[in-house]
Amino acid sequence: MGVGVYGDIQLHRADQAEAFDAIGGRYDEAFPDKEGQLAAGGWLAESLPIGARVLDIGCGTGLPTCRQLVDAGLEVTGIDLSVGMLALARESVPEATFHRADIIDVGRLDRSDRLRRFEGVSAFFSLLMLPRAEISQALAIVHDLLVPGGWFTLGMVEADVDDFEMPFLGNTVRVSGYLRDDLRQVVEDAGFDVLKEDSYPYSPAAFDAPPEEQLFLHCRRRA
């Protein structure tokens, strides 16, 4: 997919990146227990051979996912738009490679300039920072970045909202989500088989982060 495919997509996430720059390590303090994310990361690691290449989209501080995947013997690349989060990730997981990039930005590049293809991709609570129209585009990019038969694990919050503004850890962010059946359909329409689905009720430690239902889809790219 070349530049023309995504040239008309408007990127309005500078404020999102600035919010997460300000949040920094407080994100992990607000979400100290990541049972669902760890289980999904474990599923991905177990699905891949040692040395397989994995992309973590919206890697944040690198914890727990990049650390988990590196410890499993995988070659990990993380991307995030937040400079502050990437600085923390490089400190926490020096064995991984990190780039300041957005998944839509990656999709707009010519293939020769892109990150190489991956055997696995994880995206935990990063695609929810996009409007729904761009979530569909992002899933198409993930499909393109994966080798045929590659593995993909996705974490989202169940919510019937599109580009909804909300307070989050002292900042303002915009989020999107789907009800679980709708999320499954969007992922399947992007060319993935959903092999397993898990959900976890979660109450963040921070007072200004509301309780949520976390959804995890374990997927495989159709050949």
* Choice between 59 and 15, residue whose per-residue pLDDT is larger: 59
Cα angle at 58 between 101 and 185, to 5 degrees?
110
What are the structure tokens assigned to 25, written together?
């390590």
Only one residue has tokens 């049972």, namely 35
Contact between residue 118 and residue 150 where contact means Cβ atoms under 8 Å apart: yes
What confidence category does residue 110 fall into, taking pLDDT thresholds of 50, 70 and 90? confident
Sign of CA dihedral 186, 3, 79, 46: positive
What is the DSSP code (8-state) at residue 72? T
Tokens of 181: 């059946």
Beta strands 192-202 and 212-221 are: antiparallel
Check residue 127 and report its DSSP letter. G
Q: Is the pLDDT of residue 6 over 60?
A: no
Taking 70 as the threshold, does the pLDDT of residue 69 lie above it?
A: yes
Instruction: State yes or no: pLDDT of 93 exceeds 90.
Output: yes
SS3 of 141, please?
helix
Amino acid at 142: V
54 with 75: CB under 8 angstroms? yes
Q: Is the pLDDT of residue 139 over 70?
A: yes
Instruction: Assign 5 a pLDDT band (cuts: 50, 70, 90).
Output: very low
Confidence of residue 17 (pLDDT cuts 50, 70, 90): low
Measured torsion, CA atoms of residues 187, 166, 85, 31, in degrees rounded to the nearest 10: -80
User: How far separated are the first and last CA of the chain, in Å rounded?
Assistant: 17
CB 39, CB 198: distance < 8 Å: yes
Q: Reply yes or no on whether the pLDDT at 204 is more than 90.
A: no
**Beta-carbon count within 10 A of 128 CB:** 23
Provide mean pLDDT across the span 122-134.
94
Place of tokens 């694990």: 153
Given this model, what pLDDT does residue 9 score? 40
Q: 56 with 65: CB under 8 angstroms?
A: yes
The three-state secondary structure class of 96 is coil
pLDDT band for position 3 (50/70/90)? Answer: very low
Look at residue 2 and tell me whether its pLDDT is greater than 60: no
- Considering only residues 12 and 171, tell me which one the structure prediction assigns the higher pLDDT: 171
Q: How far is CA 54 from the centre of its chain?
A: 12
The Cα angle at residue 163 between residues 36 and 159, in degrees rounded to 5: 40
- Per residue in 25-58, pLDDT tens? 566 666 667 899 999 999 999 999 999 999 999 9
Radius of gyration of the chain, Cα coordinates, nearest whole angstrom: 16
Tokens encoding 44:
């991905």
